[in-house]
Every structure is written in C-alpha cells, then in structure tokens.
C-alpha cells in the first residue's frame, strides 16, 4: 500500500484484495478501481488539489506496484530525509513552520545517502549536531507544485534519532518559528495543526 498526501488528504493506492476486505468506502471516503489509464490518476490528483471534500480516496488494482509507477509518471520525484528526534526524557522535538507543526527534514543532496541527509538537516534546522542515528522508520509521500507550477512528489525517509543535547538553535531562514520538546501523547491531545504524514510517523513509532 502507498499513502500519498495531496492537499493533506490521503490518496491510498492498494491492491484489490485489500480494498475489498478493508475499505468499503462511503460518502466521505471514495473507493474506485483503476482503469489502467494513467491519465485518470491525474484527474483524482486534480480533484484533491482543488477540494477537501473527501477524508480519503482509495484507488485499487491487481498490481499496486504498477499502479504506483503510473502515478509517479505524472510527477517529478524529490527525495528527502528527516529525523524523529528524542531527548533523554523520551520527548520528541517538534518544529513550527508555515502554519503547521512539523519535524526536521530536507532534500537529499547529490552524493548523499538518506542517513547523511537526515543528520545534516537536523543539524541545520535545529542546531542539534550531536545525534545518534537509530533505525529507519518509514517513508512518507506528499505532493506539491513548485514555483513553475510543476507537479512534485516528495518521498521522505524518516529515521529515529537520540540526542543528549536539548538546547536548540532554529534555522529561521527556513521559516521555522518555534521548536518544542513534547511527549507524543501530550502532542496528540493538544490537537495542534500538523501535517497528516507527520502524524503517521508519530503513530507508527508509538505502535512499534
């Protein structure tokens, strides 16, 4: 299964069995079979860009990898990496930028591994230059348009990190306005405005 956030609404690409067993659909959760014609995927993407009518849209097919390949064909692919950073108290570092709570991440530079990028971006955005890289946690996907209105699909590699250092120095030129060490449970209960893919990362770690 692939979950791709478009305008912060999840587009789920799944195989037919999963759709039939677990995703019946309703008026707020659209479920549709892929026709095999890539252009139809662009129609769903356009719909989600222009409206938040649905809580989710699920597209299914017998070959989910081929379905994802067809979806990607409409986008320029951007690779990024970031960190779910914990301090000695078990609190996670959240940063606030552009109206949403987020976590430190950024684009992978040529010649870098995702692990190297995650460490570099954490240091640049938070000032935490002494972190211990832990396990790879997951990928997240979201789309956006760049300044030339070209479609981009960003895949972010997320890693668990630990740090003994808790003093942060934010990268304000990247529109980061605030940073907080928080308990994950308290953060969920606060109902703060946060991107769906960031919530997925936090939830996945809690379930591990």
Flag whether pLDDT at 173 surpasses 90: no
206: confidence class by pLDDT, cuts 50, 70, 90:
confident
Q: Which residue has the higher pLDDT, 207 or 104?
A: 104
- % helix, strand, coil for the chain, step of 5: 30, 40, 30
Structure confidence by residue, pLDDT tens digits, 57-88: 999 999 999 999 999 999 999 999 999 999 99
Instruction: Please report the domains of the chain, with CATH numbers, ordered by start residue.
Output: 2-72 (no CATH), 76-207 (3.90.79.10)
| Alpha carbons 127 and 104: distance in angstroms, whole number | 11
Q: Which two tokens stand for residue 155?
A: 């895949």
18: confidence class by pLDDT, cuts 50, 70, 90:
confident
Report, as an integer, the average pLDDT of 18-45.
Answer: 90
Under a CB-based contact definition with an 8 Å cutoff, are residues 107 and 79 in contact?
Answer: yes
Report, as an integer, the average pLDDT of 2-25.
Answer: 89
208: confidence class by pLDDT, cuts 50, 70, 90:
low
116: confidence class by pLDDT, cuts 50, 70, 90:
very high
20: confidence class by pLDDT, cuts 50, 70, 90:
confident
Instruction: Output the CA torsion 32→38→43→46 (10° steps).
Output: 120
152: confidence class by pLDDT, cuts 50, 70, 90:
very high
Report, as an integer, the average pLDDT of 181-185.
Answer: 94
| Alpha carbons 54 and 70: distance in angstroms, whole number | 22
Report, as an integer, the average pLDDT of 112-135.
Answer: 96
Report, as an integer, the average pLDDT of 143-169.
Answer: 93
Q: Average pLDDT over the chain, rounded to whole?
A: 94
Backbone phi and psi for residue 146, each to the nearest 5 degrees, phi listed first: -85, -170
Under a CB-based contact definition with an 8 Å cutoff, are residues 41 and 74 in contact?
Answer: yes
148: confidence class by pLDDT, cuts 50, 70, 90:
confident
Q: In percent, how much of the chain has pLDDT > 90? A: 85
Q: CA triplet 99, 100, 102: central angle to 5 degrees?
A: 140
Strands 100-102 and 105-107, how do they pair? Answer: unpaired
Predicted TM-score (pTM) above 0.85 = yes
């Amino acid at each position: 299964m692939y979950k791709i956030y478009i305008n912060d609404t999840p587009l789920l690409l799944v195989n037919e069995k999963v759709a039939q067993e677990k995703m019946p659909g309703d008026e707020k959760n659209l479920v549709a079979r892929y026709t095999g014609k890539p252009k139809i995927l662009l129609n769903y993407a356009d719909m989600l860009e222009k409206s938040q009518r649905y809580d989710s849209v699920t597209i299914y097919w017998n070959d989910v990898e081929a379905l994802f390949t067809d979806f990607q064909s409409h986008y320029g692919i951007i690779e990024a990496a970031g960190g779910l950073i914990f301090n000695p108290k078990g609190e996670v570092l959240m940063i606030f930028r552009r109206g949403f709570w987020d976590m430190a991440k950024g684009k992978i530079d040529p010649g870098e591994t995702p692990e190297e990028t995650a460490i570099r971006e954490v240091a640049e955005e938070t000032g935490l230059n002494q972190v211990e890289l832990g396990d790879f946690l997951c990928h997240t996907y979201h789309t956006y348009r760049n300044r030339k209105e070209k479609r981009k699909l960003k895949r972010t590699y997320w890693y668990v990190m630990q740090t003994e250092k808790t003093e942060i120095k934010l990268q304000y030129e990247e529109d980061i306005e605030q940073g907080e060490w928080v308990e994950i449970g308290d953060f969920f209960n606060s109902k703060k405005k946060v991107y769906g893919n960031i919530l997925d990362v936090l939830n996945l770690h809690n379930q591990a």
